[in-house]
């Protein structure tokens, strides 16, 4: 074979045989002194295979070309690999010879030296305006080295740093500078463009792919990346040309820098029109990121990016909608992601100016609000800040009731967003009704005497969400799309539920009467048409009074079983009272209004989990007139 390279099928067999040999040699052991030399020889042979053969074979096995080959022939399973190895072994099967990089024989140190030389050569060629053929040649040389670096990095086991990490930040920044400058020269038509089918011939693609392989992007490199991202379209173009090889963090960093440039602060600081990124490029990046919820959440969580995304009219509405829906509406991967989602919501509530949401942002928010409704329903109170609890147990302050309502009001300016929100409310109501029906029919709450509490508890949360929507939109006549979607999306009929509750004998009971009446009267359409709720500002004193009410209402039954029986709470579990007890004690002792509000939120969350308690608190609020304060 004249060209350096390999037969991929035979390399698979070689790898399997090498691994088998290592295992077999590992098993060569003996305690007999006469065998000591043989055992030593076996150990030496094994070390040769482990230290020399396997890394060399794995460098091929994990290379981009080999991975592509395995994908192309559908060799995704261990069985498939074994079958192919047997074909090669038994029948001498062969595959197409693949040539390898002429740099494969260089060790990492020499490759690094070759990289420095190539960067120098390309920089000189670009700076002095060398002949296009010379620039292309230097560009190709650098691109080849970058691909070799990438392949070697990919061949490293996890947690073993790749060779590029030997590059100090300054060298990496220079590499980026030269690659960007080359791309700009190419973009001006001074140098032949790279074949679009072979994106790695553009060194900038290779550099961007390398940046993502070194773990966290350091601040100096991030700053350089952001600088280039907003100074020219070369970076965005390279990412869009080969998005599959660029790490998501790099794409998010680039997109965030470009989006910030569209914001009012950056606009004021810009000196030349050249610095304005093309919205079309940002749209492309946003669409890319929208496909990966974790990246979308990273971008939307950035407090300097979210308001610009939500209010800039130049951006593609569909792209922004997809991005926000992906970031805020996708199921969180873990507790940290859940908190990040809630904080992103809080950021949107806090930073979006009134009336400034674009249609795309409105739709994106409306599409993703569904998962939030269950939490919101429990915690909504006109006089309290909306504080939700993240999956990691940390409270996140979403904003004041009115601020949340204002954001929703902006969302509802768009008809498509109205429809999406209406559907979300319908689904939420559907879930609550379904849960109530299920509890009444089959659950431990089958006892007719408890039916009232069950129904009331489930529906009270829906009522609170509907009230928020009503508060959000002063122009109630404009909510036609929401009303339509909300009604169309309802699978359970309220009347059917009332019928079930009645047949169980629970409906006339006092605790359910008010919440059910509330829902019936204030169900989406009627509430929107007929209700004009008073709007009180969420002031600290008011929230503090509400916390005091919670303590006054729940303290006696929590601390005295006799009171529980008297108010019909004898079925509430001991565990629930045990949860409430320390919270109420802490609330009584706490003087800081914010802490009191937070504790109040925790107590209300506990209460919401028990239909009897929830209905009890609602009833006491109603009877005492406390609810009318809101």
Partner 1 sequence: MDTTIDPDQLRRRAASLRDLAARLATTPALTLDGVAGHDTWDSPRAELCRRLWRANRAQLLAAIDDLHARARRLDRQADHVELARQVFA
Binding site for partner 1 (CB under 8 A): 1, 3-7, 10-11, 13-14, 17-18, 20-21, 24-25, 27-28, 30, 32, 34-35, 37-38, 41-42, 44-45, 48-49, 52-53, 56-57, 59-60, 88-89, 94, 100, 104-105
**Residue 158 Cβ vs partner 1, minimum distance, rounded to whole Å:** 23
The span from the CA of 499 to the CA of 594, in Å, is 43
The span from the CA of 243 to the CA of 208, in Å, is 10
**Residue 111 Cβ vs partner 1, minimum distance, rounded to whole Å:** 13
What separation in angstroms does the CA of 317 have from each of 216, 243, 578?
31, 21, 50
Q: In this complex, which beta carbon is closest to partner 1, that of residue 48 or of residue 488? A: 48
**Residue 89 Cβ vs partner 1, minimum distance, rounded to whole Å:** 7
Q: In this complex, which beta carbon is closest to partner 1, that of residue 49 or of residue 435? A: 49
Q: In this complex, which beta carbon is closest to partner 1, that of residue 48 or of residue 68? A: 48
List of residues 6+ apart from 484 with CB closer than 8 A: 419, 422
**Residue 30 Cβ vs partner 1, minimum distance, rounded to whole Å:** 5
**Residue 14 Cβ vs partner 1, minimum distance, rounded to whole Å:** 5
Q: In this complex, which beta carbon is closest to partner 1, that of residue 53 or of residue 124? A: 53
Q: In this complex, which beta carbon is closest to partner 1, that of residue 7 or of residue 430? A: 7
List of residues 6+ apart from 264 with CB closer than 8 A: none
- At 86 the three-state DSSP class reads helix
**Residue 64 Cβ vs partner 1, minimum distance, rounded to whole Å:** 17
The span from the CA of 501 to the CA of 505, in Å, is 6
Secondary structure (DSSP) of 339-394: HHHHHHHHHHHHHSPTT---HHHHHHHHHH-HHHHHHHHHH--TTSEEEEE-TTS-
Exposure of 567 by Cβ count < 10 A (0-12 exposed, 13-18 middle, 19+ buried)? middle
Q: In this complex, which beta carbon is closest to partner 1, that of residue 42 or of residue 378? A: 42
Is 573:599 a contact under the CB 8 Å cutoff?
no
**Residue 46 Cβ vs partner 1, minimum distance, rounded to whole Å:** 8
> In degrees to the nearest 10, what's the CA dihedral of 72, 76, 78, 84?
-10
Distance linking the first and last C-alpha atoms of the chain: 85
**Residue 13 Cβ vs partner 1, minimum distance, rounded to whole Å:** 5
**Residue 80 Cβ vs partner 1, minimum distance, rounded to whole Å:** 18
Q: In this complex, which beta carbon is closest to partner 1, that of residue 23 or of residue 592? A: 23
**Residue 109 Cβ vs partner 1, minimum distance, rounded to whole Å:** 15
> In degrees to the nearest 10, what's the CA dihedral of 575, 581, 582, 584?
140
Q: In this complex, which beta carbon is closest to partner 1, that of residue 7 or of residue 447? A: 7
Q: In this complex, which beta carbon is closest to partner 1, that of residue 153 or of residue 182? A: 153
Q: How far is CA 474 from the centre of its chain?
A: 33
Buried (b) or exposed (e) across 384-406, using 16+ Cβ within 10 A?
A: bbbbbbbeeeebbbbbbbbbbbb
Q: In this complex, which beta carbon is closest to partner 1, that of residue 40 or of residue 565? A: 40
Question: Residue 156 phi/psi, 5° resolution?
Answer: -70, 140
**Residue 40 Cβ vs partner 1, minimum distance, rounded to whole Å:** 8
The span from the CA of 309 to the CA of 324, in Å, is 9
Q: In this complex, which beta carbon is closest to partner 1, that of residue 107 or of residue 475? A: 107
**Residue 99 Cβ vs partner 1, minimum distance, rounded to whole Å:** 9
- Give CA angle at 341 (479, 603), nearest 5°: 85
Q: How far is CA 549 from the centre of its chain?
A: 38
Give me the residue label for tokens 């009347």.
Answer: 495
The span from the CA of 251 to the CA of 265, in Å, is 22
**Residue 22 Cβ vs partner 1, minimum distance, rounded to whole Å:** 8
Tokens linked to 481: 């799309």
Q: Computed from CA positions of residues 233, 256, 295, 286, in that sequence, does the dihedral angle turn out positive or negative?
A: negative
Q: In this complex, which beta carbon is closest to partner 1, that of residue 145 or of residue 211? A: 145
Q: In this complex, which beta carbon is closest to partner 1, that of residue 42 or of residue 472? A: 42
Dmax of the chain from CA atoms?
A: 99
What separation in angstroms does the CA of 327 have from each of 57, 92, 291, 443, 495?
41, 52, 10, 36, 37
């Amino acid at each position: 074979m004249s060209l350096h390279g390999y037969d991929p099928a035979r390399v698979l067999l070689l790898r399997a045989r090498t691994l088998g040999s290592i295992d077999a040699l590992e098993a060569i052991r003996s305690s007999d002194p006469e065998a000591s030399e043989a055992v030593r020889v076996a150990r030496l042979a094994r070390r040769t295979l482990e230290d020399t053969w396997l890394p060399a074979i794995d460098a091929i096995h994990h290379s981009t070309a080999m991975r592509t080959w395995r994908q192309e022939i559908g060799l995704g399973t261990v069985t498939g690999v074994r079958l192919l190895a047997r074909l090669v072994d038994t029948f001498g099967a062969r595959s197409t010879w693949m040539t390898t990089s002429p740099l494969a024989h260089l060790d990492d140190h020499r490759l690094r030296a070759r990289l420095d030389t190539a960067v120098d050569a390309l920089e000189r060629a670009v700076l002095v305006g060398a002949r296009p053929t010379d620039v292309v040649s230097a560009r190709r040389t650098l691109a080849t080295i970058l691909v070799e670096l990438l392949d070697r990095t990919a061949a490293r086991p996890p947690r073993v740093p790749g060779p590029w990490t030997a590059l100090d930040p300054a060298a990496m920044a220079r590499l980026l500078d030269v690659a960007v400058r080359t791309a700009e020269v190419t973009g001006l038509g001074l140098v032949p463009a790279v074949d679009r089918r072979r994106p790695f011939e553009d060194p900038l693609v290779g550099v961007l792919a390398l940046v993502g392989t070194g773990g966290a992007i350091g601040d100096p490199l991030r700053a350089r990346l952001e600088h280039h991202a907003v100074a020219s379209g070369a970076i965005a173009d390279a990412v869009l040309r080969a998005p599959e090889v660029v790490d998501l963090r790099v794409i998010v960093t680039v997109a965030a820098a470009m989006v910030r440039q569209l914001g009012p602060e950056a606009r004021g600081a810009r000196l030349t029109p050249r610095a304005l990124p093309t919205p079309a490029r940002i749209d492309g990046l946003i669409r890319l990121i929208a496909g990966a919820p974790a990246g979308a959440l990273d971008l939307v969580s950035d407090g300097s990016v979210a308001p610009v995304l939500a209010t800039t009219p130049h951006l593609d509405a569909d792209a922004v909608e997809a991005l926000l829906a992906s970031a805020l509406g996708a199921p969180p991967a873990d507790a940290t992601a859940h908190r990040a989602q809630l904080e992103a919501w809080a950021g949107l509530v806090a930073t979006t100016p009134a009336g400034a949401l674009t249609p795309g942002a409105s739709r994106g928010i409306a599409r993703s609000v569904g998962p939030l409704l269950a939490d919101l329903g429990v915690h909504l109170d006109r006089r309290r800040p909306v504080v939700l609890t993240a999956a990691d147990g940390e409270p996140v302050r979403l904003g004041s009731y009115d601020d949340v309502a204002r954001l929703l009001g902006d969302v509802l300016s768009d008809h498509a967003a109205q429809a999406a929100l209406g559907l979300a409310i319908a689904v939420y109501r559907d879930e609550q009704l379904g849960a109530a029906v299920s509890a009444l029919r089959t659950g431990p709450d089958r006892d007719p005497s408890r039916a009232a509490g069950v129904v009331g508890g489930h529906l009270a949360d829906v009522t609170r969400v509907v009230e928020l929507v009503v508060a959000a939109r002063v122009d109630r006549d404009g909510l036609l799309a929401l009303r339509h979607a909300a009604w169309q999306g309802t699978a359970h009929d309220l009347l059917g539920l009332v019928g079930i509750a009645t047949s169980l004998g629970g409906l006339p009971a006092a605790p359910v009467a008010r919440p059910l009446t509330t829902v019936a009267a204030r169900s989406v359409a009627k509430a929107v048409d007929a209700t004009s709720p008073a709007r009180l500002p969420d002031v600290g004193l008011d929230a503090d009074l509400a916390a005091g009410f919670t303590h006054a209402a729940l303290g006696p039954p929590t601390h005295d079983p006799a009171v529980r029986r008297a108010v019909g709470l004898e079925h509430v579990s001991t565990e629930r009272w045990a949860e409430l007890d320390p919270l109420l004690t802490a609330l009584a002792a706490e003087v800081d209004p914010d802490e009191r509000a937070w504790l109040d939120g925790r107590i209300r969350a506990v209460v919401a989990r028990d239909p009897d308690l929830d209905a009890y608190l609602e009833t006491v609020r109603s009877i005492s007139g406390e609810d009318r304060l809101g």
